[in-house]
Amino acid sequence: MKAWIGILTAVFASSLFFCPLVGAETVSNQQIIEELRALKARINKLEQELSIKDREIEGLKARVREKPETTAPVEEEKKWTDRIELSGVVEVEYGREKHRVKDPATGNSMSTRDENIILSTVELHTDAQINKYTRGHVVFLYEEDEDEDRVRIDEGTIRLGGIEETHNLYFQAGKYYPHFGELNSWFISDSLTCQVFEIRESAAEAGYVGKWFSTGAGAFHGDVQKASDEESRIKGFFADANIHNPEDTFGGMSLLAGASYLSNVADTDTLQGEVNSIRNYTGGIALYLVAEYNNFSFGAEYITALDDFHVGEMSYAIDRKGDAQETKPAAWNFELAYRPMDPLELAVKYEGTGDMFGLFPQKQYGLAISYDLFESTTLSAEYLHGDYDDNNQNSDGNVEDSRDAVTLQLAVEF
The CATH number of the domain holding residue 154 is 2.40.160.10
d(CA 364, CA 190): 13
> Same structural domain for residues 164 and 251?
yes
Phi first, then psi: what are they for 150, rounded to 5°? -120, 140
- Which residues touch 14 (CB under 8 Å, ≥6 apart)? none
In the chain, what is the greatest distance between 2 CA atoms, to the nearest angstrom?
A: 150
pLDDT tens digits for range 162-209: 999 999 999 999 999 999 999 999 999 999 999 999 999 999 999 999
Contact 140, 154 (CB under 8 A): yes
3-state secondary structure of 177: coil
d(CA 342, CA 373): 11
The neighbour count for residue 196, using CB atoms within 10 Å, is 26
Identify the CA nearest to 363 among candidates 375, 352, 349, 350: 352
d(CA 233, CA 157): 22
The neighbour count for residue 124, using CB atoms within 10 Å, is 17
> Same structural domain for residues 57 and 164?
no
d(CA 49, CA 43): 10
Domain termination site, one of 55, 77, 99: 77
Contact 264, 282 (CB under 8 A): yes
> Same structural domain for residues 180 and 44?
no
> Same structural domain for residues 152 and 280?
yes
d(CA 174, CA 91): 26
Domain housing 30: 2-77
Dihedral in degrees, nearest 10, Cα atoms 53, 58, 61, 63: -100
d(CA 119, CA 93): 6
Return the pLDDT at 67. Answer: 55
* String of DSSP letters for 251-278: GG-EEEEEEEEES-GGGSTTGGGGBS--
d(CA 70, CA 298): 55
* String of DSSP letters for 326-340: -B--EEEEEEEEEEE
Contact 402, 366 (CB under 8 A): no
Domain termination site, one of 51, 77, 103: 77
> Same structural domain for residues 138 and 48?
no
Identify the CA nearest to 122 among candidates 156, 102, 147: 147
* Polymer length in residues for the chain: 414
Run of H or E including 341: strand 330-341
Domain termination site, one of 77, 108, 143: 77
- pLDDT per residue as tens, the chain (414 positions): 444 445 444 444 444 444 444 444 455 777 788 777 777 777 777 777 777 777 777 777 767 666 554 444 444 554 677 889 999 999 999 999 999 998 887 878 899 999 999 999 999 999 999 999 999 999 999 999 776 778 999 999 999 999 999 999 999 999 999 999 999 999 999 999 999 999 999 999 999 999 999 999 999 999 998 888 877 889 999 999 999 999 888 888 999 999 999 999 999 999 999 999 999 999 999 999 999 999 999 999 999 999 999 999 999 999 999 999 999 999 999 999 999 999 999 999 999 999 999 999 999 999 999 999 999 999 999 999 999 999 999 888 899 999 999 999 999 999
pTM check: above 0.85: no
Return the pLDDT at 65. Answer: 67
Return the pLDDT at 34. Answer: 78
> Same structural domain for residues 344 and 214?
yes
> Same structural domain for residues 170 and 98?
yes
> Same structural domain for residues 67 and 116?
no
> Same structural domain for residues 182 and 263?
yes
- Which residues touch 137 (CB under 8 Å, ≥6 apart)? 125, 126, 127, 128, 155, 156, 157, 158, 159, 174, 176
Dihedral in degrees, nearest 10, Cα atoms 126, 130, 136, 142: -20
Number of domains in the chain: 2
Contact 91, 411 (CB under 8 A): yes
> Same structural domain for residues 392 and 408?
yes
Strand-pairing partners, residue 219, are 204, 237
For residue 53, CA distances in Å to 45, 47, 292, 320 come to: 13, 10, 69, 101
> Same structural domain for residues 51 and 193?
no
Return the pLDDT at 285. Answer: 98
> Same structural domain for residues 47 and 144?
no
Contact 401, 100 (CB under 8 A): yes
- Which amino acid, 145? D
Dihedral in degrees, nearest 10, Cα atoms 247, 249, 253, 257: -80
- Which residues touch 388 (CB under 8 Å, ≥6 apart)? 357, 358, 361, 362, 399, 400, 401, 402, 403
Task: Please list the helix, strand and coil fractions of the chain in percent, rounded to the nearest 5, in that order.
Answer: 25, 45, 30
